Every structure is written in C-alpha cells, then in structure tokens.
C-alpha cells in the first residue's frame, strides 16, 4: 500500500511540471516585454504607454482564464453538480451549497446500497445489466455503450450520465468530459470548458500582440540598427519574438479546432468516437443549431461571454438532444386503420376547400332540418341560399 501511495504522490507532483514550465515562460515574457523592450529599448514615451496598457489587458485576461482552467474542479456526478446559473454569482452559491445539491441531484446516478451489493455479487453480465436497467428507469439517459448497455463506471460505482467519461489521470468521472490537458493539469469538462476556450483565445491574443509589437525591434536587432546601449536587451527581444511566434502557431490550430467543436456541440471524445443513442450512433446527436450550440457553452447573456466566469447552460447531468423526439423508447401514439377500410392518403385542404366543405355541411344539415320540419322549410331554404351566395 505504501509504495503505491508514494508512486501516486510522485505522479501528481510530476503532473505539475508542464504548468510550472508555462508559468516560468509567462513570467519571463512579462519581464522581457515590460523591462527589456518597453523600458530599455523603446524611447518614445507615448509608445511605451500604449504598449504597456494593451499588453497588461491581454496579460490579465490570459492569466485569469488560465488560472480558472487550472483550479476549477471538474464536475463529478458522484460528488458535486453545478446548477444552471442565471447570473455568474450563482456559481458562488452553488459552491457553498454543493452538499445540498449533491443530495438533490447527483445521488440519483448512484446505485442504492442494496442494489450496489447485488451488483457486486452478480457474476453474470446479463444479471448486472438487469440491475442497472432497473436503476436507470427514471434517469434522463439517452446514450448507451456500443453494445446498447447502460454506461456504468465500476471504478466510481456510478451510472454515467450522458457525455460523462472516466478520466484515468484524475481517477474520477467527469461530466461532459472533453479531454485531460497536461498543460493545465486538469480535466477539461462541463465546469471549465468555457474557461479553457477563453484561455486559448487570450493566450493567442497575448502571443499575437507580443509578436506584432516586437517584430520591428526584432528586425532592428537582427540587422544591428539599434545602438550598442541596447545590446543587453538583444537576446530577450530576439528570443521573445521566436517564442511568441512558435506558441502563436500551435495555439491557433488548437483554438480553431475547439471553435469548430463548439459550433458542432461536440467534445473531443465525441469527435473521435460518436456517441451511441438508443437509435444508433450519431455524431450530431447533441447538435441544436449553431446559435444554440454556442449558448450551451457560453450562455445566453453575451455580456459575460468574454469573461472567465461560469455561464454555461444546464447542470452537466442532462443535455438537450435532437434525437429525443424520435426516440424509439419514448411513448408515442400510433394510429392503425380499421381492417375493413382501405388506407387513403389525405392531403391537407386549402382554405377555399375548407369553406366549400363547411358550406356543404351546413346545407345538408339545413335540408335534413326542413325534412323534419316541413312548416319552416321555405324560410330555411331561403336562408341557406343567401348564405351560399354570400360565401361565393
């Protein structure tokens, strides 16, 4: 037990190496840009002020979104669930009431104690599936395994909600899991996917701004056009441009790919392996249209889209799908024709046809009425004639 625990601690410590590397690169880039470029290299005060203002704006948003991506705990169906906040400050209330939310929401995906004991004692997969089917009867589940069985995590001992997957690195089931990112040492899922997208956007903006503003001084240093008094900044400016350009190219490809995923309402896992519904696999099963797909991640209030605050729609346990209305297991009403009557396809009537049909029915009823009451036949016939003429 002790060696395993020590090994696990070592793995967790080593997992922070990529994050520490990024942090060191960001700190050095801050020093190189602010001190070596803006203070020691640029001579114009106005240009220094403008560069520093825009640099710090991009730097603050980049660090803020990166921090939120790293330290936002992945939502777990067996531990905590995030509710759908109408405003960003609702997330604070959810965190303070996480145990209450757990009691109300997440326990439904955990097997009851008696059923869990029966499941563990059963050796036949068929019997285990029967237990899971009974437990999942009232759960909002639309996805299945490739064989059509209930998705169950033996490690976490929980029925997996739709789009939930087990992360071996975090050793937990993650709601709407996208992937495990070593550069943030965290799972990217329902609780921090918006933060991850903003992290990519602001890091790309940060690198683009540095590369664009450093380019002219990079050329001057390369061609030795600057004075010798600026030689101590030459290394920092040259290396800063190369690093910014390199990260810009790599982040641009990743950011473009995730924007495409957001527009399709897919995760990275679903892009490589289409989710299996009751009616079969469908890679577009969760797609609701471009605008609604964007709102699923960024929320309805556009004023919060560019801020790293939680505004995603839903609770992470259930997701709208375009396949629900045609689900084969949903209750539907089927009309069967009588055996004695042949099937006739009736096309919808136009407005003029409806009027003629209505007049004909009124005429027949009036004729029947006059047959039963011959004394009032004359006034009734004249009224029917007048009605027909007015309609025509």
Q: Residue 351 is encoded by which pair of tokens?
A: 């407005």
pLDDT number for residue 263: 96
Query: Backbone dihedral region of 334: left (phi > 0), alpha (psi from -120 to 50 degrees) or beta?
Result: beta
pLDDT (tens digit per residue) in 236-279: 989 999 999 999 999 999 999 999 999 999 999 999 999 999 88
pLDDT number for residue 85: 37
Q: Tell me which of 391 and 235 has the higher pLDDT.
A: 235
Q: What's the chain's length in residues?
A: 392
Active site (catalytic) residues: 181
Buried b (16+ CB within 10 A) or exposed e, 80-95: bbbbebeeeeebeebe
Asked whether 225 and 338 are in contact (CB, 8 A), the reply is: no
pLDDT over 50 at 171, yes or no: yes
pLDDT number for residue 138: 85
Q: Out of 251-265, 280-294, 310-324, pick the least confident.
A: 310-324
Give the confidence band of 319 by pLDDT, cuts at 50, 70, 90: very high
Q: Residue 219 is encoded by which pair of tokens?
A: 């050329």
**Residue 309 half-sphere exposure, CB side, CA atoms within 13 Å?**
15
pLDDT number for residue 115: 87
Burial of 277: CB neighbours in 10 Å, binned 0-12, 13-18, 19+:
buried
Q: Count helices and strands (H / E) in the chain.
A: 13, 9
DSSP 8-state symbol, 343 = -
Asked whether 288 and 294 are in contact (CB, 8 A), the reply is: no
Can you tell me the distance from the alpha carbon of 29 to that of 355, in angstroms, rounded to the nearest whole number?
Answer: 78
Mean pLDDT of 306-327: 83
Q: What is the CA angle 231-243-52, rounded to 5?
A: 70
Can you tell me the distance from the alpha carbon of 78 to that of 280, in angstroms, rounded to the nearest whole number?
Answer: 27
What is the pTM for the complete model shown? 0.76
pLDDT (tens digit per residue) in 56-88: 999 999 999 999 999 999 999 875 444 443 434
């Amino acid at each position: 037990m002790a060696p395993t625990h020590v090994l696990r601690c070592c793995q967790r410590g080593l997992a922070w190496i990529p994050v520490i590397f990024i942090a060191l690169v960001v700190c050095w880039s801050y020093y190189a840009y602010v001190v070596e470029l803006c203070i020691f290299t640029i001579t114009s005060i106005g240009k220094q002020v403008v560069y520093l203002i825009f640099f710090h704006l991009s730097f603050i948003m980049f660090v803020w979104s990166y921090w939120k991506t790293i330290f936002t705990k992945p939502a777990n169906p067996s531990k905590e669930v995030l509710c759908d906040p109408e405003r960003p400050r609702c997330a604070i209330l959810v965190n303070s009431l996480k145990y209450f939310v757990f009691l109300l929401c997440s326990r439904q995906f955990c097997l009851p104690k008696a059923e869990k004991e029966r499941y563990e004692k059963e050796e036949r997969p068929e019997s285990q599936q029967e237990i899971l089917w009974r437990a999942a009867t009232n759960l909002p589940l639309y996805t299945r395994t490739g064989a059509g069985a209930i998705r169950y995590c033996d490690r976490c001992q929980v029925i997996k909600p739709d789009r939930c997957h087990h992360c071996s690195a975090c050793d937990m089931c993650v709601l709407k899991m996208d992937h495990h990112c070593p550069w943030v040492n965290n799972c990217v899922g329902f609780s921090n996917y918006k933060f991850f997208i903003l992290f990519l956007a602001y890091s790309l903006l940060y690198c683009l701004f540095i590369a664009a503003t450093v380019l002219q001084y990079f050329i001057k240093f390369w061609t030795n056009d600057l004075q010798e008094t600026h030689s101590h900044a030459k290394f920092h400016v040259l290396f800063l441009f190369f690093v910014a350009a390199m990260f810009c190219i790599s982040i641009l490809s990743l950011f473009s790919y995730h924007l495409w995923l957001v527009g399709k309402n897919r995760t990275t896992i679903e892009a490589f392996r289409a989710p299996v519904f009751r009616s079969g696999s469908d890679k577009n099963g969760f797609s609701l249209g471009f605008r609604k797909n964007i709102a699923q991640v960024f929320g309805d209030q556009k004023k919060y889209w560019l801020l790293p605050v939680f505004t995603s729609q839903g609770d992470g346990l259930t997701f709208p799908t375009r396949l629900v209305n045609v689900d084969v297991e949903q209750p539907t009403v089927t009309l069967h024709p009588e055996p004695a009557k042949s099937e006739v396809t009736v096309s919808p009537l136009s407005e003029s046809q409806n009027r003629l049909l209505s007049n004909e029915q009124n005429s027949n009823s009036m004729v029947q009425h006059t047959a039963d009451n011959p004394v009032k036949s004359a006034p009734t016939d004249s009224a029917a004639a007048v009605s027909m003429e007015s309609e025509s």
